Amino acid sequence: MRVRVGFGWDIHRLVEGRRLVLGGVHIPFPKGLLGHSDGDALAHALIDALLGAAALGDIGTHFPPTDPQYKDADSTALLAQAVHLLAQQGWRIGNVDCTIVTEQPTLRPFLDGMREKLANCLGVPVESISIKAKTAEGLGPIGKQEAIAAYAVALVEERA
């Protein structure tokens, strides 16, 4: 069986007046992520990891930020489209491992909700989705609560 690995990274500015959405889950917080879509950095990193594993380009290729149809888009819907693209090329998802880097808010209470949401989206068991949260130890723009970043790796397998 052929297996491939992909990597994705994303960062968005944390600003007033936006809903904070990560992994498709709304997190009550006074600020949210700026973006053309809903700014879901975790979903975006995961899309790039999946597309990367299949060498299908990147999120900007498939969902250009200049396209009005993606204004305030639910990024988990884009993720589902990416999964469909991979399926069309004969790939199914093995497992994914993600890390979100944010100083605030504390994400631990929301991680299982994100795992369930992403598992549904990817069509895999929740045990195949790992999401970790770290702080930046007060360093840099993330440490100053100006941004949230996310990293993801994904393993994909050739369909039998």
Closest contact distance (angstroms) between CB of 19 and Mg ion is 15
Closest contact distance (angstroms) between CB of 10 and Mg ion is 4
Cα torsion angle, 105, 111, 116, 120, sign: positive
- Is 25 in a helix, a strand, or coil? strand
- The dihedral formed by the CA atoms of 111, 113, 114 and 115, expressed in degrees to the nearest 10: 90
Of 9-17, 19-27, 99-107, 123-131, which segment contacts Mg ion by CB under 5 A?
9-17
The DSSP secondary-structure symbol of 104 reads: S
Closest contact distance (angstroms) between CB of 40 and Mg ion is 8
Q: Does 18 bind Mg ion (CB under 5 A)?
A: no
Q: Does 10 bind Mg ion (CB under 5 A)?
A: yes
Of 43-51, 96-104, 105-113, 144-152, which segment contacts Mg ion by CB under 5 A?
43-51
Chain residue whose CB lies nearest Mg ion: 44
The DSSP secondary-structure symbol of 62 reads: H
Q: Does 44 bind Mg ion (CB under 5 A)?
A: yes
The binding site for Mg ion (CB under 5 A) comprises 10, 44
